[in-house]
Structure 1
Amino acid sequence: MAGSTTAERGERQRESSGPPPARRLRQPRLRTIIILVVALALLGAGGVWALYGSNWLRVERVSVSGTRVLTPAQVRAAADVPLGSPLVSVDTEAIESRLRRKLPRVDTVDVSRSWPHGIGLKVTERTPVLVVRKSGNFIEVDRKGVRFATVSTAPKGVPALELATAPSSSAAASLRRFGEDRLVREAVRVAGALPARVAKDTRTVKVRSYDAISLKLTGGRTVDWGSAEAGGAKGRTLVALMKASPDARHFDVSVPTAPASSAS
């Protein structure tokens, strides 16, 4: 019987050696990909459940820092943080908005998540630079001209703002032209420009018009400041003038390049 041909022997050798390498690798690789996809899906579902459905990451406490006049209890009440809610779902912007709306004394607030169970509220309160007397109380005004709180006792060391609203021609015209809020802001600019040694002695900032602002100091001393412009130069000039004329009762720095002082 004739032996097998070369072609037949090659075919039998290919059959005995099994499928080609590419085919042998394809099936395990596909299986690995499927396993990885399933594992990732399970991990994702588990993460979502841990964040939203479990009791592991829920709000249990609210910490408050930075308060001076306000109390932590007042801040917590105004923030109204939803205790028991998933920490990840807490709307920090809504909390900040509530605090600003309910507590005008709050200037800025940083709302942060403190994993796994806390919300942190870091508050910065407004600082009064002037107070306005009204009906026996005092309205606090901050450096931006915002009237943010009414108190029964004036804060120590904060000068009073006096708006000369008597129907004099200059005062009436200035109020009509600029409005009360603008004049208050000008007074705030003056208060903010006062050197420390002058600020501690200032009792009243009086506004008769936009460019006629004056100061009442301790000991019955007065200062014509003029407008709020060139506040730094006026402050330096006033300090030098007070050193040069310690017994003077009246100072005029409305034109800082030509200051004056007098005994009355």
Structure 2
Amino acid sequence: MAGSTTAERGERQQRSSGPPPPVRRFGQRHVRRIIVSAVALVFLGSGAFWLLYGSDLVRVERVSVSGTRVLTPAQVRGAAEVPLGEQLISVDTETIEARLAKTLPRIDTVDVVRSWPDGIALKVTERTPVLLVHKGGKFIEVDDEGVRFATVSRAPKGVPALELAISRTGSTAASLRRFGENRLVREAVRVAGALPASVAHATRSVKVRSYDDISLELTDGRTVDWGSSEKNAEKSRTLTALMKAEPGARHFDVGVPTAPASSGS
């Protein structure tokens, strides 16, 4: 029997394979989705821009103040000069922070925060006095960094006085020339900050004669020779132990903490 011809075999193959598959149009649909998404993003962006820069809904209407102790919220708001009615996004927070630091030295740090949708929050940390300098019937407050930040008419309770018994001639002059008055004040601040709590509360004054000659006078008349501000932690522990061991002593010397001394009764 004769086999099928080449033409017949081709015809059978074409019938068995069926019609060609339709051409998919995913490419066109994908392009349409991209266009629609892009248009939507443009509208959303325009709306957000208008909301932040053109809408009355996000303008500054209130200024809140927190963290004040001596200062009043009204003082902080007045010094901050926050532009009421301005778009919240346009408020220059760094300029406000710098203005507060310059105008109110009592402020140690301040965070100016946008409080959406219509507020500015001023979060204040005030300086805390650790020593007082008596001058002209008033008191200059000195913080734990040696910054003289405020002058008050009444001494805050529990803050010792700083006595600068420094002469520009004589034995203490060399220390003054070498370190300068500001450095000596900072050394006294370091000593005051290192005192045991029980001693700190009972300290009337911290006297500075030179870099390595700092002493304390307590409210009950007892005195302490501290020396320099070096080894403050060790001196603090030594003084605590010495006062417990010699409760009747009137004078303590912890200038050399490994060889402390006490005297008087």
Q: TM over 0.5: same fold?
A: yes
CA RMSD of aligned residues (A): 1.8
Contact 2:226 2:253 in 1 (8 A): yes
Which letter maps to 1:174? S
Query: After the TM superposition, which residues 115-264 of structure 1 pair with which residues of structure 2 at under 5 Å, given as runs?
Result: 115-263=116-264
Percent identity between the aligned chains?
A: 73
Deviation (angstroms), 1:170: 2.4
Partners in 1 of 2:179 and 2:103 — Cα distance?
30
Deviation (angstroms), 1:47: 0.8
**Equivalent residue, structure 1, for 2:108:** 107
Deviation (angstroms), 1:112: 1.2
Which letter maps to 2:175? S
TM-score by length of 1: 0.88
Specify every segment of 5 or more residues in structure 1 that has no aligned partner in the other structure, as ranges: 1-16
Specify every segment of 5 or more residues in structure 2 that has no aligned partner in the other structure, as ranges: 1-18
**Equivalent residue, structure 2, for 1:74:** 75
Partners in 2 of 1:231 and 1:100 — Cα distance?
31
**Equivalent residue, structure 1, for 2:58:** 57
Which whole-Å deviations, capped at 9, do the CAs of 1:76-113 have from their partners, x for residues lacking one?
11111111111111111111111111111111112211
Which whole-Å deviations, capped at 9, do the CAs of 1:4-60 have from their partners, x for residues lacking one?
xxxxxxxxxxxxx9xx735x5554444443332222111111110011001011111
Instruction: Give secondary structure in 2 for the equivalent of 1:56.
Output: helix
TM-score by length of 2: 0.88
**Equivalent residue, structure 1, for 2:46:** 45
Contact 2:128 2:144 in 1 (8 A): yes
Contact 1:170 1:208 in 2 (8 A): no
Instruction: Give secondary structure in 2 for the equivalent of 1:170.
Output: coil
The number of residues matched between the two structures is 246
Contact 2:166 2:210 in 1 (8 A): no
The answer to which of 110-119 and 203-212 deviates more is 110-119
Deviation (angstroms), 1:230: 0.8
Which letter maps to 2:144? R
The answer to which of 245-254 and 189-198 deviates more is 245-254
Which letter maps to 2:180? G
Q: 1:21 to 1:228 in 2, by over 3 A?
A: same
Partners in 2 of 1:184 and 1:204 — Cα distance?
13
Partners in 2 of 1:249 and 1:34 — Cα distance?
89
Which letter maps to 2:127? R
